[in-house]
Amino acid sequence: MAIQTLLGAVNDALRTAMRRDESVLMFGEDVGLKGGVFLATGGLQKEFGKERCFDTPLSEDGIIGAAIGMAMNGMRPVAEIQFQDFIFPAFDQIVSEAAKLRYRSGGQYTAPMVIRTPYGGGIRGGLYHSQSGEAYFCHTPGLKVVIPSTPYDAKGLLLASIADPDPVLFMEPKALYRSVKGEVPEDYYTVDLSTTRTVLEGDDVTVFCYGAMVPVVEKAAAMAAEKGISVLVIDLRTLLPLDEDGVVEAAKRTGRVVTVTEAPRFCGYAGEISAIVAERAMEYMEAPVLRVTGFDTPFPNTLEHHYLPDARRVIDAIEKVYSF
């Protein structure tokens, strides 16, 4: 076991996959010699050469289009979109081509590819470097959407994503890149997609979260424990396809549910969790499901600390459902 940051675990996963399988290649803007904006691909070009880790033009639709073609022809491409905020020029390639390839070809073709992209706030990136657009892609059958929150999961989930026979959008919470550390096996291993992780055991309130909100919820759960409230914290990890049965069982355990995301509230992923609980576990609920989210505004710069959910907002919601 090695102690790594989440960023280091991503790099380790890429290196492990590329050593294991020559069909795996990494490309995107500045990912080669520079190693990417956050250095997630540092050292890969030096080890594997320019044919397997290379820079592309600044063209997101071109990057994803090329990845689709490679994936259809026996490669396992890992394409990086430098910031999730700039993925939208490639939206049509992702949702209309990659995600639908298996269905439209009757299973004759698939797109075993991974799109890596850092997302979310927490680094004072302002309007165009802080957005959380996961809900756009979770509305797309045929696509998988994965978000790690720990170094262990970052490596295991990324390796599982690279091995998956269908396209995976692997969203990396950049606020956690260097702020969390943990033990990571040095060998190849995978974490099953579409599984949740129990972060903390509890009996009074269930809180669902993912990505950079997991440490925030852990802090709120510790505050709740001081007040005698036991919180079950569930890290969703794979948003699409979601482990719905796991979500329902966790909701039933306490009868009180809070969902925490940093994306805007309206039509956000927190609403989907609320709907699933309402449809499948309503008779077990002792209180309304509450959402703690970002606000329905463009992402601010100087007011970032007000926009992002913090432990105070989460503990307020926990106490509200607990005392309902």
User: In angstroms, how far apart are the furthest CA atoms of the chain?
Assistant: 60
221 vs 207: CA distance, rounded Å: 9
Report the interhelical angle of 151-163 vs 6-20 (nearest 10°).
30
Catalytic residue list = 129
113 vs 256: CA distance, rounded Å: 38
Cβ-based neighbours of 159, under 8 Å, separated by 6 or more: 13, 16, 17, 188, 189, 190, 191
Alpha helices in the chain (DSSP H): 6-20, 44-48, 60-72, 91-92, 101-104, 134-138, 151-163, 213-226, 244-254, 269-281, 304-307, 311-322
